[in-house]
Amino acid sequence: MKLLDCADIGKRPITEFDYLGEIRIPPSDADESTWADYVFNRNGAPGVLRERWYHRPTGRWFIFERDTLTDQIIGQVDASEVRYEEPHYEIPA
Amino acid sequence: MKFRLDPQPLEWIDRSESVSFRFEGQTFSGFSGDSLTSALLAGGQKLLGRSFKYHRPRSVLSMANHDVNALFQSSDATNIRGDVTPVSEGVDLRACNVNGTLANDKDRYIGLLSRFLPVGFYYKTFHKPKKFFPYWERLIREKAGLGEINTSWSATRQPKRYGFSEVLVIGAGPSGMQAALSAAEAGADVVLVDENPRIGGSLDYQLANEEAAAKVRADLKSRISNNAKIRLMEAHYAAGWYTDHYVPLVGPEGITKMRAEQVIMATGVMEQPSVFRNNDLPGVMLASAAQRLIARYAVKPGQRAVVLCGNDEGYRAALDLIAAGVEVAAVVDLERVGKRGEWAKQVQAQGITVLDHSAIYEAQGKGALSAVVVAPFNGKGCDAGKSHVIPCDLLLMSVGWAPAAQMLYQAGAKLGYASQAEQILPRELPQGIHACGRLNGAFTLEQRLADGSRAAREALAQLRGEAVVSELTVHRDTQSHSHPWPIIGHPKGKNFLDIDEDLQLKDLINAAKEGFDNIELMKRFSTNGMGPSQGKHSNMNGIRVLASVTGKTIDETGSTTARPMFHPVPVSALAGRRFRPERLTPMHQWHLKHGARMMEAGQWQRPEFYAPSTAAGAVTAAQREQSIVQEVQAVRSGLGLIDVSTLGKIEVMGPDAGRLLDVVYTMKMSTIKIGMTRYALAVDDSGVIIDDGIVGRIAEDRFYVTATTSHAAAAFRTLSLKIQELGLNVRLANLTGSLAAMNLAGPASRKVLSALTDVDLSEESFPYLGMREGTLLGYPVRLIRVGFVGELGYEIHLPANAALEVWEKLMDVGSAHAIRPFGVEAQRVLRLEKGHIIVGQDTDGLTNPFEANMSWAVPLKSKPWFTGKPSLARLKNSCERRLIGFRLPQGFSPKSSSEMPKECHLIIQDGEISGRITSIAYSPSLGRIIGLAMVDLPLADANVPMQVKVDSGAFVAIEPCATPFYDADGARQTADLTEVA
Amino acid sequence: MPWRLLKFGLKSTHDEPRFFPEAKPLKSHYDVVIIGGGGHGMACAYYLAKEHGITNVAVLEQGYIGGGNTGRNTTIVRSNYLTPEGVKFYDTSLKLFEDLADDFDLNIFYSTRGHFTLAHTDSALRTMRWRAEVNKHQGIESEVVGREEIAKAVPYMDMDCAGHAPVMGALYHAPGSVARHDAVAWGYARGAYNRGVEIHQKTRVTAIRTQGDKVVGVDTDRGQISCNKVISMVAGSTPRITSMLGLRTPIEIFPLQACVSEPVKPFMDTIVVSGSLHVYVSQSSRGEMVMGASVDPSVLHSTRSSFDFVEGLTDQMLDLFPFMSRMKVMRQWAGMSDITPDFAPIMGKTPIDGFYLDAGWGTWGFKATPVSGKTMAWTVANDKTHELIEPFRLSRFADFDLVGEKGAASVGH
Report whether pLDDT(C410) > 60. no
Q: Which chains touch B (3 or more CB pairs under 8 A)?
A: A, C
Distance (Å) from the alpha carbon of A23 to chain C's nearest alpha carbon: 13
- Is residue C318 domain-resident? yes
Contacts of A71 in chain C (CB under 8 A): 300, 302, 304
C264 and C379: one domain? no
Task: Kindly state the helix (H) or strand (E) to which residue B622 belongs, with its residue range.
Answer: helix B621-637
Nearest CB to C311 within list B576, B599, B913: B576
- Please give the interface size between A and C, counted as residue pairs whose CB atoms are below 8 Å apart: 69
pLDDT digits (tens, 9 = 90+) for C11-47: 667 788 999 988 899 999 999 999 999 999 999 999 9
- Is residue C101 domain-resident? no
pLDDT digits (tens, 9 = 90+) for B567-612: 999 999 999 999 999 999 999 999 999 999 999 898 999 999 999 7
Report whether pLDDT(B787) > 90. no
Distance separating alpha carbons of residues B768 and B786, to the nearest angstrom? 7
Pairing of strands B906-909, B912-923: antiparallel
Distance separating alpha carbons of residues B487 and B496, to the nearest angstrom? 10
The ipTM is 0.98
- Is residue C55 domain-resident? yes
B100 and B127: one domain? yes
Question: Chain A 33-52, CB below 8 Å of chain C: which residues?
Answer: 33, 36-37, 39-46, 49, 51
C281 and C330: one domain? yes
Average pLDDT, chain B: 95
B148 and B16: one domain? yes
Question: Quick one: pLDDT at residue B130?
Answer: 84
Q: Which of C3, C159, C262 to probe the B interface (max B CBs under 10 A)?
A: C262
Question: Chain B 245-304, CB below 8 Å of chain A: which residues?
Answer: 246, 257, 259
Question: Quick one: pLDDT at residue B980?
Answer: 37
Q: Is B955 on the interface with C (CB under 8 A)?
A: no
B520 and B429: one domain? no
Residue C272 sits in a domain whose CATH number is 3.30.9.10
Distance separating alpha carbons of residues B866 and B46, to the nearest angstrom? 78
Report whether pLDDT(C413) > 50. no
Contacts of C399 in chain A (CB under 8 A): 36
B449 and B502: one domain? no
pLDDT digits (tens, 9 = 90+) for B151-170: 999 999 999 999 999 999 99
Q: Is A73 on the interface with B (CB under 8 A)?
A: no
Contacts of B904 in chain C (CB under 8 A): 126-127, 129-130, 133
Mean pLDDT for the stretch of residues B117-128: 84
* Structural contact between residues B846 and B934, judged by C-beta atoms closer than 8 angstroms: no
Residue of A nearest to C338 (CA): A44
Q: Look up the domain containing B264 and give its range.
A: 161-270+403-463
- Is residue B114 domain-resident? yes
Residue B266 sits in a domain whose CATH number is 3.50.50.60
Is there a contact between C306 and B148 if contact means CB atoms under 8 Å apart? no
Question: Quick one: pLDDT at residue C1?
Answer: 54
C151 and C287: one domain? yes
Which pLDDT band holds residue B129 (cuts at 50, 70, 90)? confident
Pairing of strands C252-261, C111-112: unpaired
Question: Quick one: pLDDT at residue C109?
Answer: 94
Question: Quick one: pLDDT at residue B133?
Answer: 86
Question: Quick one: pLDDT at residue B979?
Answer: 40
pLDDT digits (tens, 9 = 90+) for C48-103: 999 999 999 999 999 999 999 999 999 999 999 999 999 999 999 999 999 999 99
Q: Is B534 on the interface with C (CB under 8 A)?
A: yes
Last residue of a domain, one of C311, C339, C367: C339
Question: Chain B 834-893, CB below 8 Å of chain C: which residues?
Answer: 840-841, 844-846, 871, 874-875, 878
pTM of the full structure = 0.95
B415 and B538: one domain? no
C127 and C215: one domain? no
Mean pLDDT for the stretch of residues C202-219: 97
pLDDT digits (tens, 9 = 90+) for C228-237: 999 999 999 9
pLDDT digits (tens, 9 = 90+) for C275-295: 889 999 999 999 999 999 889
Distance (Å) of CA B5 to CA B32, B33, B42, B296: 16, 15, 9, 11
Residue B87 sits in a domain whose CATH number is 3.10.20.440
B96 and B238: one domain? no
- Is residue C397 domain-resident? yes
Residue C188 sits in a domain whose CATH number is 3.50.50.60
C281 and C215: one domain? no
B209 and B139: one domain? no
Question: Chain B 839-878, CB below 8 Å of chain A: which residues?
Answer: 860-861, 864-865, 869-871, 873-874
Task: Kindly state the helix (H) or strand (E) to which residue B743 belongs, with its residue range.
Answer: strand B739-745
> Cα dihedral angle (C333, B142, C190, C67), rounded to 10 degrees?
0
**DSSP string covering C28-73, please?**
SB-SEEEE--SHHHHHHHHHHHHHH----EEEE-SS-TT-SGGGTS
pLDDT digits (tens, 9 = 90+) for B675-691: 999 999 999 999 999 99
Is there a contact between A36 and C400 if contact means CB atoms under 8 Å apart? yes
Report whether pLDDT(B629) > 90. yes
Vertex B53 angle, CA B51 and B58, to 5°: 10
B408 and B264: one domain? yes
Mean pLDDT for the stretch of residues B806-820: 97
Last residue of a domain, one of C339, C364, C396: C339
Report whether pLDDT(C392) > 80. yes
Distance separating alpha carbons of residues B902 and B882, to the nearest angstrom? 19
Q: Look up the domain containing C294 and give its range.
A: 111-175+252-339
Mean pLDDT for the stretch of residues B198-209: 97
C261 and C148: one domain? yes
Mean pLDDT for the stretch of residues B499-507: 95
Question: Chain B 426-465, CB below 8 Å of chain C: which residues?
Answer: none
pLDDT digits (tens, 9 = 90+) for A10-51: 999 999 999 999 999 999 999 999 999 999 999 999 999 999
Is there a contact between B720 and A60 if contact means CB atoms under 8 Å apart? yes
When mean pLDDT is compared across B123-137, B188-202, B349-363, B778-792, the lowest value belongs to B123-137
Domain total in chain C: 2
pLDDT digits (tens, 9 = 90+) for B353-398: 999 999 999 999 999 999 999 999 999 999 999 999 999 999 999 9
C266 and C234: one domain? no
Nearest CB to A45 within list C240, C302, C400: C240
B440 and B554: one domain? no
Task: Kindly state the helix (H) or strand (E) to which residue C124 belongs, with its residue range.
Answer: helix C122-137
Q: How many CB atoms lie within 10 A of CB B815?
A: 12
Domain total in chain B: 4
B911 and B928: one domain? yes
- Is residue C233 domain-resident? yes
Average pLDDT, chain C: 94
B66 and B90: one domain? yes
C245 and C364: one domain? yes
Is there a contact between B144 and C263 if contact means CB atoms under 8 Å apart? yes
* Structural contact between residues B839 and B708, judged by C-beta atoms closer than 8 angstroms: yes
C171 and C118: one domain? yes
Report the number of secondary-structure helices (H) and strands (E) in chain A.
1, 6
- Is residue C95 domain-resident? no
Which pLDDT band holds residue C412 (cuts at 50, 70, 90)? very low
Report whether pLDDT(B981) > 50. no
C150 and C210: one domain? no
Contacts of A1 in chain C (CB under 8 A): 306-308
- Is residue B794 domain-resident? no
Q: What are phi and psi of B774, to 5 degrees?
A: 180, -155
Question: Quick one: pLDDT at residue B1?
Answer: 64
* Structural contact between residues B742 and B640, judged by C-beta atoms closer than 8 angstroms: no
Last residue of a domain, one of B529, B549, B568: B568
- Is residue C157 domain-resident? yes
Contacts of C400 in chain B (CB under 8 A): 686-687, 871, 874-875, 878
B137 and B235: one domain? no
Nearest to B173 by CA among B270, B104, B90: B270
Last residue of a domain, one of B416, B443, B463: B463
Residue B934 sits in a domain whose CATH number is 3.30.1360.120
Report whether pLDDT(B854) > 80. yes
Last residue of a domain, one of B419, B445, B463: B463
Mean pLDDT for the stretch of residues B232-238: 98
Last residue of a domain, one of C339, C370, C400: C339
Distance (Å) from the alpha carbon of C38 to chain A's nearest alpha carbon: 20
- Is residue B742 domain-resident? no
Name all domains of chain A by residue range, CATH numbers in brackets: 1-21+47-83 (3.30.2270.10)
C305 and C267: one domain? yes
Mean pLDDT for the stretch of residues B76-105: 96
Distance separating alpha carbons of residues B514 and C6, to the nearest angstrom? 19
C297 and C271: one domain? yes
Contacts of B864 in chain A (CB under 8 A): 88-90
- Is residue C103 domain-resident? no
Residue of A nearest to C241 (CA): A45
Residue of C nearest to A37 (CA): C398
DSSP B337: G
When mean pLDDT is compared across A28-37, B21-30, C14-23, C130-139, the lowest value belongs to C14-23
